[in-house]
């Protein structure tokens, strides 16, 4: 998808052609649980997922606590990004992708025929590993999603931009260059800008896929501090390879290995007293 024509649905460098768009069979109405799932933002129910004949996630049943930061850890290729992208249906566009089982957002299947993809992605926002500002001005970047969702008038754009850029700590650095291209900002500033854009549409859930892996320690610290400020208003799921980061920012940790959910619990418990030997090996750096 093109980031220019569809800024509300930011891509990650991948552009699907019409032929690649998978038509996902509507889930029968009976699987649409009544709305509201107390204290739980997202629930995966026996979620199994494959690309072609290759299974990538197997039988994942878990719940993501509302208003908490959940870290998603696991070795390369364990399925972290795939799981994250499932939560706002970013995989649907891959022609070979198939799933069984379900994901419930506030008690309702994200694949239910009544679910509108635009609204789903408004509720479940995403920030990618590499900053992906759109080729438009800094101000237009911040408001791109809000404009697409008709949440703000042209006159209200500057105010929204100021609010969001202030919230991510970028206002001072960019207030005199709102009409400039974002590509002259540093990598860390570009990531903060993308975070401001994601937050402007007021998501309920924010998915972060290794958001600081390309950033220096200072920029990383700013993003981590911001993540802590987002909860409990927003539910955050963050994929990270950095165990210290997971321990610093998250309340809960999920450990994935080879597409299976090995362990999910309070972060402290997972790091200090893991139930599974596999988890102990991973968090102690013995593999991965
Ligand atoms: N679009 C796709 N088509 C085919 N296979 C895919 C696709 N996306 C992911 N996979 C496969 O799914 C598996 C899990 O990939 P995923 O990107 O989810 O891993 P990850 O845990 O995020 O790894 P990393 O830590 O390296 O980012 C990998 O074997 C990968 O090759
Ligand atoms: Mg990944």
CATH of the domain at 205: 3.40.50.300
Q: How far is the CA of 78 from the centre of ligand 1 (A)?
A: 7
Which range marks the domain in which residue 84 is found? 39-283
Residue 30 lies in a domain: no
Which of 20, 49, 80 is the best mutation target for the ligand 1 pocket, counting ligand atoms within 8 Å of the beta carbon and taking the most?
Answer: 80
Q: Among the listed ranges 17-31, 138-152, 272-286, which one has the minimum average pLDDT value?
A: 17-31
Count of all residues that appear for the chain in the document = 288
Number of domains in the chain: 1
SS3 of residue 224 by DSSP: helix
Residue 228 lies in a domain: yes
Residue 159 lies in a domain: yes
| Nearest residue to 201 via CA among 142, 133, 285, 159 | 142
Confidence check: pLDDT of 155 > 80: yes
At 105, phi and psi to the nearest 5?
-105, 115
**Beta-carbon contacts of residue 99 (< 8 Å; ≥ 6 apart):** 47, 48, 49, 50, 86, 91, 111
Q: What is the pLDDT of residues 180-232, one digit of tens each?
A: 999 999 999 999 999 999 999 999 999 999 999 988 898 899 899 999 999 99
Mean pLDDT in residue range 121-134 = 94
**Beta-carbon contacts of residue 286 (< 8 Å; ≥ 6 apart):** 280
**Residue with CA nearest ligand 1 atom 3:** 51
Residue 99 lies in a domain: yes
Name residues contacting ligand 1 (CB within 6 A).
51, 56, 74, 76-82, 94, 96
Joined together, the tokens standing for residue 72 give 């998603």
Res. 66 pLDDT band, cuts 50 70 90? very high
Residue 8 lies in a domain: no
pLDDT at 35: 58
Residue 33 lies in a domain: no
Residues of the chain with pLDDT > 70: what percent? 88
Mean pLDDT in residue range 130-149 = 92
Residue 5 lies in a domain: no
Residue 24 lies in a domain: no
| C-alpha distances out from residue 84 to 12, 148, 202, 254, Å | 13, 23, 19, 12
**Beta-carbon contacts of residue 100 (< 8 Å; ≥ 6 apart):** 46, 47, 48, 49
């Amino acid at each position: 998808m093109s980031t220019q024509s569809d800024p509300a649905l930011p891509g990650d460098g991948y552009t699907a052609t019409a032929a690649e768009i998978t038509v996902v069979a509507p889930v029968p109405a009976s699987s649409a649980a009544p709305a509201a799932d107390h204290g739980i933002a997202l629930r995966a129910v026996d979620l199994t997922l494959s690309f072609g004949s290759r299974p990538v996630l197997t039988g994942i049943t878990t719940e993501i606590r509302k208003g908490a930061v959940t870290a998603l850890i696991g070795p390369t290729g364990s399925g972290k990004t795939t799981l994250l992208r499932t939560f706002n249906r970013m995989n649907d566009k891959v022609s070979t992708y198939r799933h069984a089982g379900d994901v419930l957002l506030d008690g309702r299947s994200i694949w239910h025929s009544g679910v509108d993809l635009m609204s789903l992605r408004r509720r479940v926002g995403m920030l990618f590993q590499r900053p992906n500002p759109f080729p438009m001005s800094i101000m237009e970047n911040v408001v791109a999603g809000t404009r697409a969702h008709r949440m703000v008038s042209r006159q209200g754009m500057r105010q929204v931009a100021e609010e969001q850029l202030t919230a991510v700590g970028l206002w001072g650095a960019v207030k005199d260059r709102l009409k400039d291209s974002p590509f002259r900002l540093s990598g860390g500033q570009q990531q903060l800008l993308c975070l401001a854009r994601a937050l402007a549409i007021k998501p309920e859930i924010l998915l972060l896929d290794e958001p600081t892996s390309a950033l220096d320690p200072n920029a990383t610290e700013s993003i981590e501090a911001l993540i802590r400020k987002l909860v409990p208003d927003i539910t955050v799921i963050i994929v990270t390879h950095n165990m210290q980061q997971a321990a610093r920012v998250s309340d809960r940790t999920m450990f994935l290995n080879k597409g299976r959910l090995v362990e999910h619990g309070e972060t402290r418990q997972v790091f200090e007293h893991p139930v599974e030997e596999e988890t102990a090996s991973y968090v102690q750096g013995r593999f991965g």
